[in-house]
Amino acid sequence: MKSTAKIATSTRLRKTVNSMTRIALIICGGYPIWVNAILPLRATFKILASEIKVFVDAQPAEGFTGSPPIFMNLLKMILMTVAAGYLGLALFALVFANRMIFPQPPSSYSDSDAIIKIPYGDEGYKISALFLPHEQADRIVFYHHGNGEDLGRSQGRLELLREQGFAVFAWDYPGYGTSTGRPNERRIMEAAQASMQYIVEELGFSKEQVILYGRSLGGGPAVQLAEDHSVAGVILEGTFTSTFRVLTRVRLLPWDVFDNLSRIDRIQAPLLIIHGTLDYTIPYSHSLALYQRAKDPKTLVTVDTGGHNNLVEDFAEIYWEAVDTFIQSL
């Protein structure tokens, strides 16, 4: 007849193995969004730590003499589970990350005489762009929209910017609107650099007259352009430290997409960051982290109770005062 200590230990081991199996299955594909697997992982580590303590504290006097081999087997299972989970996480990110970051909504507009076509890269692709001139403007806002938008969906915001007295240039990422090519960080940056070149060479603005505006996903190309070029200023609205950390909060993988946190301190231009405290798409903490890392001169405008998509609509006075004050200070 088994001793009480052995039965209790066997029960604990079985529960631990079952828990690790469930977590491994979740991480390797049981959930549609890979980040959801990370949350139960915390609880599992607590369970595993508790089980390890039980095995370490077990005394031969209790009748449990198999401590060393069982402990080693448990440790091996823990390491294998963690390794399998991490591998599943990495593979999922490799295969599905771009689809999640760049959902490519259906185009809300068709090509017309107002749509500018700009070639980028060496694959024969072209992006679609829109220029809204203003006769009295001595600055141009280079606008980068969010991942669920295109030029048509951004038209209202662009017109409002022009009404404030600015010339405006906006573009669609590869695969968005009527732009060709599939979106990824490399192609987006090739297109962003081609757009900057177009603004300078075709529209006649100097880089020192360009104000980079990145909304949400658009903060990625805006920050990289600001790192590469001496511009008049940078405005970031509801953007992220990095796209992966929107979901994971911390860095888990050796690569990322649009890692703004690693670049923000290399921006030399004046910086304005606007973010709502009730933004559930990209938490307000992202802008706080960017602001803390950025160099002066910098301004953080916190919109109390503001969300991700309603700053202009519901907090117009705060929004436009922040934008106008910032641009007038340049």
The CA-CA-CA angle for residues 229, 233, 234, to 5°, reads 90
What are the tens digits of pLDDT across the range 160-215? 999 999 999 999 999 999 999 999 999 999 999 999 999 999 999 999 999 999 99
Say whether both 60 and 134 belong to one domain: no
Among residues 145, 275, 286, 308, which one is catalytic? 308
Say whether both 123 and 270 belong to one domain: yes
User: Is 107 inside any structural domain?
Assistant: no
Q: Give residue 254's pLDDT.
A: 76
Say whether both 91 and 141 belong to one domain: no
Residue 166 C-beta-side C-alpha neighbours within 13 Å: 25
Q: Which of 40, 73, 101 is the last residue of a domain?
A: 101
Amino acid at 268: Q
Among residues 216, 275, 286, 287, which one is catalytic? 216
Cα gap 229→284, rounded to integer Å: 27
Helices (H) and strands (E) in the chain, counts: 10, 8
End-to-end CA distance of the chain: 83
Say whether both 158 and 252 belong to one domain: yes
Say whether both 83 and 223 belong to one domain: no
Q: How many residues does the chain have?
A: 330
Q: Give residue 88's pLDDT.
A: 72
User: Is 291 inside any structural domain?
Assistant: yes
Residue 308: active-site member = yes
User: Is 111 inside any structural domain?
Assistant: no
User: Is 208 inside any structural domain?
Assistant: yes
252 burial level (CB within 10 Å; 0-12, 13-18, 19+):
middle
Domain count, the chain: 2
What are the tens digits of pLDDT across the range 53-77? 555 555 444 444 445 566 677 677 7
Q: Give residue 112's pLDDT.
A: 96
Say whether both 76 and 125 belong to one domain: no
Q: Which of 71, 101, 131 is the last residue of a domain?
A: 101
Q: Give residue 40's pLDDT.
A: 45
Helices (H), the chain: 4-25, 38-57, 67-101, 151-163, 185-201, 219-228, 243-248, 284-293, 311-314, 316-328
- Check if the beta carbon of residue 266 is closer than 8 Å to that of residue 315: no
User: Is 89 inside any structural domain?
Assistant: yes
Cα gap 164→145, rounded to integer Å: 18
Domain region containing 289: 116-328
What are the tens digits of pLDDT across the range 146-163? 999 999 999 999 999 999
CATH of the domain at 316: 3.40.50.1820
- Check if the beta carbon of residue 140 is closer than 8 Å to that of residue 211: yes
Q: Which residue has the tokens 């980040």?
A: 35
Say whether both 97 and 140 belong to one domain: no
- Check if the beta carbon of residue 101 is closer than 8 Å to that of residue 243: yes
User: Is 110 inside any structural domain?
Assistant: no
Among residues 128, 172, 279, 286, which one is catalytic? 279
Q: Give residue 304's pLDDT.
A: 97
Pairing status of strand 210-215 against strand 140-144: parallel
What are the tens digits of pLDDT across the range 7-51? 555 555 555 555 555 544 444 433 333 344 444 444 545 555 555
Say whether both 50 and 135 belong to one domain: no
Q: Dihedral of the CA atoms 215, 216, 222, 226 (nearest 10)?
A: 100
Say whether both 95 and 173 belong to one domain: no
Q: Give residue 327's pLDDT.
A: 92
User: Is 96 inside any structural domain?
Assistant: yes
User: Is 294 inside any structural domain?
Assistant: yes
Alpha-carbon distances, residue 227 vs 137, 231, 259, 266 (angstroms): 24, 9, 12, 6
